Amino acid sequence: MSRLVEQVPPGKAVKGALVVGQRAGGEEISIIYHILRGLNPGPTVWFNGAIHGDELNGPIALLQLSQKLQPEQISGTIILTPVSNPLAFAARQKNTPHDLLDLDQQFPGDPEGTLSQRIAYQLFHVFGTAADYIVDSHTVGHDYFGQPYTVTKKIRQDLQPAFEQAQKLAEIFGGAFHCSLDFSENLNEVPGNVYGFLDVQAQLQGKVAFMVELGAGGIHQPDAVRFALEGYQRLLVDLKLLSSKKNPPASKLPAISIKKRYYLYANTAGFLTFSVQAGDFVKKGTLLAEVTDLYGQKTAYRAMHDAFVLINRNNAVVETGDRLFFLGESWNDANGGKK
Ligand SMILES: [Zn+2]
């Protein structure tokens, strides 16, 4: 266990700032953490937020969770980092403004690299190595709308037990969808270094790790915050860090399992009007959206397969290559059979 986490005495809650660099004017760049060490032994759980600086529902829920937790009622250790990319957070944007990198593609980080690589290194080696369980809280991008969903990633066959545990915890956390992706196949659903994701690198270190997507980006959604707060508490009860007397009721969202996802990108530009929204099920051929260019020419976008709409764009202006929808396929129904 890293020294910062280990030095918190049993029965104590410590809040502090982990310095990761300096600004030209001399100000420190630091990550604020809350570490709550229970009186009784137990596992260590790390709830991380705002690895993307404009994803706000998770950090707000983590601050509410910190208020509710009392170390004397905890068995184990809880680490909260509400805002893990303070530079992107201050800039109200996804990526770190200083090196334009996506912090979530830099793990396990580099102590002598760019700022994002250094932040990733500190997060991973100070909090990640201390944790048995890691939940990384995201939202969809700030031009998009989506209901809460979870994402678990299968990396390698020999890591299957931890992956299955992550799947079980994701279901307990709750969500409208549970995306369970096979990274052992060639999976090209998002651009960039997907093996640099925090949850991927954490699994390679033997941790149980997954992502939660907590609604829309760039705004505070009280419903999504409440959903997240209850999800974190359910996990802590399931892992026996908290007594079951504190267990919130199970999530009421439908929890459909998604095995494969794809973005539908715009090939044309102009104004977007959409016919479906996040949470909808669409049959192959269904009209999803139209884009009208400035000559008045309309282009229809239709579903290529039967799919669930995971996220939809909420920005009415579209250019070539913009993402219109994120669609999910290959699900099992509640009985485990193919629909
Ligand atoms: Zn994110």
Ligand 1 centre to CA of 58 (Å) is 10
pLDDT at 332: 59
pLDDT at 252: 79
Domain with CATH 2.40.50.100 in the chain: 260-329
pLDDT at 187: 63
User: Domain spanning 3-256: which superfamily?
Assistant: Zn peptidases (3.40.630.10)
pLDDT at 287: 98
Ligand 1 centre to CA of 302 (Å) is 27
Amino acid at 339: K
Ligand 1 centre to CA of 89 (Å) is 12
CATH 2.40.50.100 fits 260-329, yes or no: yes
Ligand 1 centre to CA of 284 (Å) is 29
Ligand 1 centre to CA of 220 (Å) is 15
Cα four-point dihedral sign 236, 35, 230, 214: negative
CA distance 220 to 233: 20
Burial of 33 (0-12, 13-18, 19+ CB in 10 A): buried
Ligand 1 centre to CA of 103 (Å) is 9
Ligand 1 centre to CA of 236 (Å) is 23
CA distance 208 to 41: 19
| Cα→Cα distances 70→13, 116, 126, 193, 232, Å | 8, 33, 22, 38, 15
* Residue bearing tokens 């334009």: 100
Closest CA to 184 of 172, 200, 198: 200
Residues 329 and 307: beta-carbon distance below 8 Å: yes
Ligand 1 centre to CA of 210 (Å) is 12
Angle, helix 57-68 to helix 222-238, in steps of 10 degrees = 50
Ligand 1 centre to CA of 51 (Å) is 6
Ligand 1 centre to CA of 306 (Å) is 26
Q: Within the chain, which residues score under 50 in pLDDT?
A: 334-339
Ligand 1 centre to CA of 335 (Å) is 31
Ligand 1 centre to CA of 176 (Å) is 17
For 270: left if phi > 0, alpha if psi spans -120 to 50, otherwise beta; the answer is left
Ligand 1 centre to CA of 174 (Å) is 18
Domain with CATH 3.40.630.10 in the chain: 3-256
